[in-house]
C-alpha cells in the first residue's frame, strides 16, 4: 500500500498542474491501470479498459485484466482474469447547484468486480504423519465498491485519473485437497517458524470470507473522442 501511495503521489504531482481541458467533453477514452503491476497478494496483472459516455454526466467504465505468469508472481502457474463494470456520475451540475466551482472532472461511481483465479500451492498437511503437498487452489471474488475520483485531461488528449473507494468483498476459495486435508492445512507463512497467520489463512485458506474492500489507485489513458 505504501508503494502504491508513493507512485500515486508522484504521478499526481507530475501531471495535475499541467491540466489543459475539462473532462466533460470526452465521449470515449481508453485507459491502463499501472498499479496492477505491483499487486503482491494476487500476482501482478495487466489491466486496461474503456470509458464511454451514456448520457450527459453519466458514463460507463468497463475494464478487464489478466495475470502475468512467472513474472513477479506470488503464485505458481497462475491463471485467471478480472472483469469490472463501473457506472460513473460526474458531479459538475450538482456542485454548481450548491455553489461549488462546477468542476466536471469529479465523480462518484459504483465498481462491480468479478475475479476468477487458480494457481498451484504447497503447504504442510498436519495429519499423522504430517506431510507436504502441492495442490491447486481456485479463488472467486466478488466486490462492490463506492468510489470517489477525479479525471484530468490535457490538450494532447492524454488523461490522468485518481480514485479511492470503500466497499465489501466476498471471496470463496476451494482446492483439489480432500475436505480432511483442507481442514488440516498448516497456515504458517514461509520463514515464520511455527506461528499460524490469520492473514495467510484469509489469503490461501479454503472457505468463504467477507470483509471491507478499500481501494486507492490511478489510471492513465487517452481520449479518443471529445
The model's pLDDT over 50-72, given as tens digits with 9 standing for 90+, comes to 999 998 889 999 999 999 877 67
Secondary structure tally for the chain: helices H, strands E: 4, 8
- Would you give per-residue pLDDT tens digits along the chain (226 residues)? 444 444 444 444 444 444 445 555 578 999 999 988 887 667 889 999 999 999 888 999 999 999 987 767 778 899 999 999 999 999 875 555 444 554 558 899 999 999 999 999 888 888 889 899 999 999 999 999 999 999 988 878 899 999 999 999 999 999 998 888 888 887 665 555 555 455 556 566 788 899 999 999 999 999 988 7
77, 121 in Cβ contact below 8 A? no
What CATH number is given for 2-115+142-166+208-225 in this structure? 2.40.160
**Pair 23, 151: CB distance under 8 Å:** yes
Are residues 80 and 116 in contact, defined by beta-carbon separation less than 8 angstroms? yes
3-state secondary structure of 31: strand
**CA-based nearest residue to 115, from 170, 164, 181:** 170
Amino acid at each position: 500500500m505504501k508503494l502504491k501511495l508513493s507512485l500515486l503521489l508522484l504521478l499526481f504531482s507530475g501531471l495535475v498542474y499541467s491540466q489543459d481541458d475539462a473532462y466533460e467533453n470526452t465521449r470515449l477514452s481508453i485507459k491502463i491501470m499501472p498499479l496492477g503491476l505491483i499487486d503482491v497478494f494476487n500476482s501482478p496483472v495487466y489491466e486496461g479498459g474503456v470509458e464511454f459516455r451514456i448520457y450527459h454526466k453519466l458514463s460507463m467504465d468497463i475494464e478487464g485484466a489478466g495475470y502475468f505468469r512467472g513474472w513477479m508472481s506470488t503464485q505458481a502457474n497462475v491463471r485467471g482474469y478480472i472483469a469490472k463494470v463501473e457506472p460513473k456520475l460526474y458531479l459538475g451540475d450538482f456542485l454548481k447547484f450548491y455553489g461549488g466551482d462546477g468542476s466536471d472532472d469529479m465523480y462518484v461511481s459504483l465498481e462491480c468486480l468479478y475475479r476468477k483465479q487458480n494457481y498451484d500451492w504447497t503447504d504442510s498437511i498436519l495429519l499423522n504423519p504430517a506431510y507436504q503437498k502441492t495442490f491447486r487452489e481456485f479463488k472467486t471474488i466478488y466486490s462492490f465498491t463506492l468510489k470517489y475520483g477525479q479525471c484530468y485531461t490535457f490538450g494532447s488528449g492524454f488523461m490522468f485519473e485518481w480514485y479511492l473507494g470503500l466497499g465489501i468483498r466476498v471471496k470463496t476459495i476451494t482446492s483439489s485437497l480432500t475436505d480432511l486435508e483442507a481442514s488440516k492445512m498448516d497456515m504458517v507463512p514461509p520463514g515464520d517458524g511455527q506461528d499460524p497467520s490469520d492473514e495467510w489463512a484469509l489469503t490461501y485458506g479454503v472457505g468463504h470470507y467477507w470483509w471491507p474492500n478499500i481501494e486507492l489507485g490511478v489510471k492513465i489513458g487517452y481520449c479518443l473522442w471529445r
